[in-house]
Every structure is written in C-alpha cells, then in structure tokens.
Chain A
Amino acid sequence: MSLVTLDNLSQHFPVGGGLFAKPAILRAVDGVSLTIEEGETLGIVGESGCGKSTLARTLIRLNRPTGGRITFDGQDITTAPEAGLRPLRRRMQMIFQDPLASLDGRMSVRDLVAEPLDLLRIGTPKERTQRVHELLRKVGLSPDHAGRYPHEFSGGQRQRIGIARAIAPGPDLVICDEPISALDVSIQAQVVNMLQDLQDELGLTCLFITHDLSMVRHIADRIGVMYLGKLVELAPAADLYARPLHPYTRKLLSAIPVPDPAARRDEAPATDEIPSPLDLPSGCRFRSRCPLATELCARIEPEMADHGGGHLAACHHARPPEDGDPIPSNPRTKQESEDA
C-alpha cells in the first residue's frame, strides 16, 4: 500500500527578475511521479542541484507545489491549507543534515525533543517528560542527558537528538535529508544501524535523500536517481547497481570511489559539466553529457518507461550495461598484496 503518491509533481521557483525583467524559472522539481510504499525506504540520489532536497520539502508541503498532485495516505494534500495539514504534521517528520544548525542551541535536550509534542499538544507535561526519557533511551542516549545543551554533545550524539525529536510524535513517514553526511565515517555506521533498528521497531516509512551512493545501496529498498529536476531512473536497490539502464546512472555509479585499490581504473580526465538549471537543453536534459545522445534526444524528452521488475528509466536508449561499462556486480575479490 502506498503511503505517498506523487503524480507529475513540479516545484518551480522564479529567480531574479525585477521591475522590467521577467524572472527566470528554476525547475527544481519538474514532473516527478513516484510512490513510497508503507514500511519501505526509498532512496533518492543525485548531485547538488538535482532537486532531491526540494522534492522532499515539497512532498511534506514545506513548499506549495506549482504543479501535479501529492497524496498522503489516500488524502490529497497538494493544496491543503496549513491548518488542514496540521493533523498530518505529526505523521511526517524530518531529520536534517546538520544537527548543530537544525537544533536550537539555547534549548535543552529535553525541550528540543519535547517541542514537537508540545506543539502538537500530545500528552500531559508529565507524560511528555516520560516520553522524552523513553525516546532518549531509544536513540542510545541516557535520560541524564535531558538537561544538557546541544553543544555539549559530539556530532553523532547531536544527530541522535535530532532523530529523537523527529520520531517523538510517532510519525509514519520520516524524511532523512543527508542525515549522515556531516558525520565522521566511524560514526555514520552507528547512526545508520540505529535508524534501521528504529525503522523495524516503529514500522517507519523512510525517504532517504543522499549523495552517498555506497550508503544508499546499503539502506534503501528502492532508489530513485534525479538529474536536474527529473527522476531519470527508479529501481529496486540491487537491480539499479546490477543493471543501471540510464546513462546518467551509469556515469554516477562509475564515479563512486571504491575502497579497494585493486579496482582502480585509470582513465583520461573528462571535463563535462552539469548545465545550468536555468538554461536546460531541449529534449532530454542529460543529452549534453550523454555518450548515447542522438537527434531524437534533442527533440523529444523521454518519459519514464517500465523495463520489467519495477525498474523504470527515462531514456530513449535505455539498455543494460555492456562490457567495459562501470561497476562490476560481482563481489569484491580480495587481492593479495604484492609485497606480502
């Protein structure tokens, strides 16, 4: 059952403009359709400016979409007024990238975690304090921490506070926007494991926004790839890596630095760049960087098409990888060191 359905969702922003000049239109999200199933983790990946964070913010109606439709648990929330959204707010919560920036430094941990409960008028003050203690334990902190302030914690602990705050009102959907990018490598794994445990325990549905292509494969059930406001490919996680159909996905996957020197591939450096989102190519917006681009791609923008097994791609030349294409799907082969 789908918890969220996006139907041709668009979020355009006017940029610049003035008394006489017409503003340019930034198509941050441009006709994205997808569903998020109950209990699943949907990963959205893409490079900066691809619209992945805007998609998340519009999905929970922090923005008012400029086109398309958002359905949350069967309810159309595309144009719902703020008052009408309020009862839904407790069901959709967000975890941000930088807990130091998203947590008010003048509030104690108790107040930070209780704030959503206060605002949504959940429970009596006594019940709220109890709930805060319970939440702190859930995220691996101690109730003794309740009186402290964010700066007294390490980055990983601060993100735990942010997570406790997000799950406080008992949401169905948690949007994680780069939740581990600001953390050290050894701490990232702690937080990811905790998120997965919480998801199992609480039956959460997650939208996981990230640029980390290794971590998203670990955490997501399905992954969507965005490029300049468009969803270009959507597939079950393992299938996306084994059988990337869109040339952009292949380019992205081949660029992941693999932590294994034996897999090193020396290639001539390329210089292609992401075009300006204010000045998109006609037709397929990836064609300016695409090795497969033809005249058709300049004329007609490809639509998402199903290539079997829930694997969708928007490309006129969608095909499975061939020899010489990146990312071998076989398990890593341990190479013995030459000077061992």
Chain B
Amino acid sequence: MSVLLEVRGLRTAFHTSRGKAQAVRGVDLTVKPGEILGIVGESGSGKSVTCMSVLRLLKRAGRIEGGEVLFGGRDLLTLSEGQMSDIRGSDIGVIFQDPMSSLNPTLTVGEQVMEVILRHRGGGKAAARARTIELFEMVRIPSAATRIDAYPHEFSGGMRQRAMIAIALACEPKLLIADEPTTALDVTIQKQILSLIKELQGRLGMAVLLITHDLGVIAEAADRVMVMYGGMVMEEGPVARIFAAPRHPYTQGLMASVPDPRTAGEGRLAPIPGSPPDMMQPPAGCPFAPRCPAAMNVCDAEAPQLYAAGAAHRSRCWLMDPDAPQQGGAA
C-alpha cells in the first residue's frame, strides 16, 4: 500500500533562555491515503510539535534538527517557504483547537474561505463564493448562503470549528491535520464535529492526522493510534488492538487512569505516579522509566527500540526484548 506522509527520524527542539527543550526525539510515522491516524499524548509529549514540524509552522524558537518529512515524494523540510505555503491549505489542510484565535475577527467567515480558494485555485470571486457556499453546506452550517457573510464572533464555537473545517477542506487536501479539534468544544458539539470529520474523510477519501489527549476521541475516530511520551513514540498499532491489548506500561497506565463512563463509580482510580519528564533534561533511557511500575536497570541506562508486538503493533519497551525476564499479564 502506498504511503501519503512519511516522517523519518524527526528531531525538533526549542531554544529558550533556560536551555534547549528536546520536544521531539526521533519520531517515525506513516500515514496511508484515506486513513485516520491518531496521535495521543499528554502535554509535553511532543504530539503537537510533531505535526507543527510537518507543517513547518513552529514558533520562532523551534528548530527541526534532523529527519525527513516525505509528502508526495518530496521532503517538505527541503522546500522553500513559498513552496511550503503552496502545500499548506491545498494539499494539506489544518484545523486547530481554538477556532476563534485561528479566524480573523475583522473579515467575514466567507471571505476567509474565499481567500484560500483564490490563493490556491485562482478563478473569479463569484466562483469562489459559490464554492464557499458549497463548502458551508458540506460542513452543515445551516443557511449557508447567508451565514457566509457573518463575522466569526457571530458564530458559536461549534459553527466556528465547522468554518475552520470548510477552510481546511476548500482545496480538497489529501491530508487533514487536526490538532485537538474538539478540545475547546462541549461534549455534544464534540460528537458532532468528530462525526463530521469522519464523514468527510470517508466521502473525500482524505487522510487525517488527529492529535488529541483524549483516549475517548481516539477510540471514537481513529483507525490507527500512536501513543507519544517524552518526545518519543511509545506504542503504535491498530486502534482495536491497542485498546484491547496495550503492551506498553505507559499506555496501560493511561488507560487505567481514566474512568470508563459506563462503569465508573466503585473503587479507586489507578493513577500513574510522578510527573512527566522535564524536556530540558530528558532521561537518558526510557522517558517513562521514572514512573514505570515495571522499570528495570536497563530502562534508565538506554532507551529501548520499538519492538514488534504483533501485526502492525509495536511497543518501545525493554520488556518486549527477547532477553527480558518473562512478565505475566503484560497485556
């Protein structure tokens, strides 16, 4: 099967007055055409920085220090800024967490969609306007023909995120990058937006890179999932498999610490002790070792590789090493 996006050995760091924060430390990922790849992780795990690196939209202190980002046969990291902005908005669409700060408050929502169409597709204003109405209908904004002349503040949070999706999809991208697209929304609106993204992904055949901290959102929407921690991919695999049989102690800990809404109530939650690593001084070994209930001496010394854990399932854990002591009930 062909690959739409392939990231190899990505390393991204932020240079701050306190020193260098190693946000992404050697991430490999592939997105196939038409699939939804979820990246889940907590704050500081490197999930958002990974996708901002792919888009080359890092803040000024951020530097990509190594790796390749192959999209449609080209390494995006070698392109000029002009070539890159041709790709953003046309081949790759983006939506962010907070649609209010992504939209320009001084332009009507319709103008902002038309701007993207005119920039990438050209054509006349009338055609762009017609296409905008079509897009508004596609993302199910009611009374599309009149709502395109409204300003962002006249839209509710859910409608703003729909407008952002319309902008992202204006040029029929092959890849949609959605960075916490529903985190700022209420739960009933979150559900609407997630089903809209899934519906459009199926209808338009695009791939989606879905970044979230919410395991529920991953379970609801993604085909495959990558679990990130401390700037590294800790585990990856098909969603059904990762949720049924997580192999990495971090993934297991994460799943145990969220109550299941269907059964919650009795007993205590099982939190992961400690706190995430300081990326100014990331641990030399496995980043999760200081919090890991199964940590061994080797874990502090050296970070493990990603070991195969079944079909398309990999886990970055020394317990997966053939020489590791046999562990009962790792899954």
Q: Which residues of A contact B (CB under 8 A)?
A: 47-48, 154-157, 184-190, 192-193, 196, 211, 213-215, 217-218, 237-238, 241, 251-264, 266-271, 273-274, 327-332, 334-340
**Can you list 17 A-B pairs, Cβ within 8 angstroms, ordered by A?**
A186-B276, A192-B271, A213-B261, A214-B216, A218-B265, A256-B261, A257-B216, A258-B260, A267-B195, A271-B140, A271-B141, A335-B240, A336-B244, A338-B241, A339-B238, A339-B241, A339-B312
Which listed residue, B213, B240, B262, B312, touches A258 by the CB 8 Å rule? Answer: B262
Bound: A220/B276 CA distance, A:
28
Min CB gap A99→B, angstroms:
14
Min CB gap A297→B, angstroms:
19
Is B145 an interface residue, CB under 8 A from the partner? no
Is B134 an interface residue, CB under 8 A from the partner? no
Q: Is the interface of A mostly helix, strand, loop or mixed?
A: loop
Q: Are B272 and A186 in contact (CB under 8 A)?
A: yes
Chain A, Cβ-Cβ closest to B214: A257
Q: Are A269 and B196 in contact (CB under 8 A)?
A: yes
Interface-centre pick from A157, A238, A270, A335 (highest chain B CB count, 10 A)? A270
Question: Which residues of the partner chain B approach A256 to less than 8 Å between Cβ atoms?
Answer: 187, 216, 261
Give the residues from 246 to 280 in chain B that come closer than 8 angstroms, CB to CB, to chain A: 253-255, 257-265, 268-273, 275-276
Q: Are B263 and A331 in contact (CB under 8 A)?
A: yes
Chain A, Cβ-Cβ closest to B212: A257
Bound: A320/B291 CA distance, A:
44
Q: Which residues of B contact A (CB under 8 A)?
A: 42-43, 140-142, 156-159, 186-196, 198-199, 213-220, 238-241, 243-245, 253-255, 257-265, 268-273, 275-276, 291, 310-312
Q: Are A274 and B195 in contact (CB under 8 A)?
A: no
Question: Which residues of the partner chain A approach B257 to less than 8 Å between Cβ atoms?
Answer: 185-186, 188-189
Known contacts A260-B260, A270-B192; decide if A217 and B156 are in contact (CB<8 Å): no
Min CB gap B210→A, angstroms:
12
Known contacts A189-B269, A269-B140, A332-B263; decide if A255 and B240 are in contact (CB<8 Å): no
Q: Are B275 and A154 in contact (CB under 8 A)?
A: yes
Question: Which residues of the partner chain B approach A188 to less than 8 Å between Cβ atoms?
Answer: 257-258, 271
Closest A-B pairs by Cβ, 7 of them: A257-B216, A189-B271, A47-B186, A189-B269, A189-B257, A269-B195, A184-B42
Q: Are A259 and B263 in contact (CB under 8 A)?
A: no
Q: Are B273 and A190 in contact (CB under 8 A)?
A: yes
Bound: A211/B257 CA distance, A:
18
Question: Which residues of the partner chain B approach A271 to less than 8 Å between Cβ atoms?
Answer: 140-142, 192
Bound: A148/B258 CA distance, A:
31
Min CB gap B169→A, angstroms:
14
Known contacts A213-B187, A259-B216, A339-B238; decide if A156 and B275 are in contact (CB<8 Å): yes
Question: Which residues of the partner chain B approach A218 to less than 8 Å between Cβ atoms?
Answer: 259, 264-265, 269
Q: Are B262 and A273 in contact (CB under 8 A)?
A: no
Q: Are A257 and B220 in contact (CB under 8 A)?
A: yes
Bound: A253/B191 CA distance, A:
11
Question: Which residues of the partner chain A approach B188 to less than 8 Å between Cβ atoms?
Answer: 47, 251-252, 255
Q: Are A340 and B310 in contact (CB under 8 A)?
A: yes
Question: Which residues of the partner chain B approach A237 to less than 8 Å between Cβ atoms?
Answer: 265
Known contacts A157-B275, A186-B272, A271-B140; decide if A340 and B241 are in contact (CB<8 Å): yes
Q: Are B140 and A273 in contact (CB under 8 A)?
A: no
Chain A, Cβ-Cβ closest to B142: A271
Known contacts A186-B253, A258-B261, A338-B240; decide if A264 and B245 are in contact (CB<8 Å): no
Q: Are A332 and B260 in contact (CB under 8 A)?
A: yes
Which listed residue, B213, B245, B259, B273, touches A215 by the CB 8 Å rule? Answer: B259
Chain B, Cβ-Cβ closest to A221: B265
Which listed residue, A157, A190, A217, touches B264 by the CB 8 Å rule? Answer: A217
Min CB gap B290→A, angstroms:
13
Known contacts A185-B215, A261-B243, A340-B310; decide if A214 and B259 are in contact (CB<8 Å): yes
Q: Are A238 and B156 in contact (CB under 8 A)?
A: no
Q: Are B271 and A184 in contact (CB under 8 A)?
A: no
Known contacts A187-B271, A193-B268, A340-B310; decide if A264 and B219 are in contact (CB<8 Å): yes
Min CB gap A22→B, angstroms:
22
Q: Are A340 and B275 in contact (CB under 8 A)?
A: no
Q: Are A186 and B271 in contact (CB under 8 A)?
A: yes
Q: Are B255 and A259 in contact (CB under 8 A)?
A: yes
Min CB gap B92→A, angstroms:
23
Q: Are A337 and B261 in contact (CB under 8 A)?
A: no
Bound: A154/B213 CA distance, A:
18
Question: Which residues of the partner chain A approach B141 to less than 8 Å between Cβ atoms?
Answer: 271
Min CB gap B31→A, angstroms:
19
Known: A155-B43, A269-B195, A327-B261. 6 other contacts (CB 8 A): A186-B271, A258-B216, A271-B192, A273-B159, A335-B240, A339-B241
Known contacts A47-B186, A193-B271, A335-B240; decide if A255 and B191 are in contact (CB<8 Å): yes
Q: Are A261 and B240 in contact (CB under 8 A)?
A: yes
Q: Are B260 and A211 in contact (CB under 8 A)?
A: no
Question: Which residues of the partner chain A approach B142 to less than 8 Å between Cβ atoms?
Answer: 271
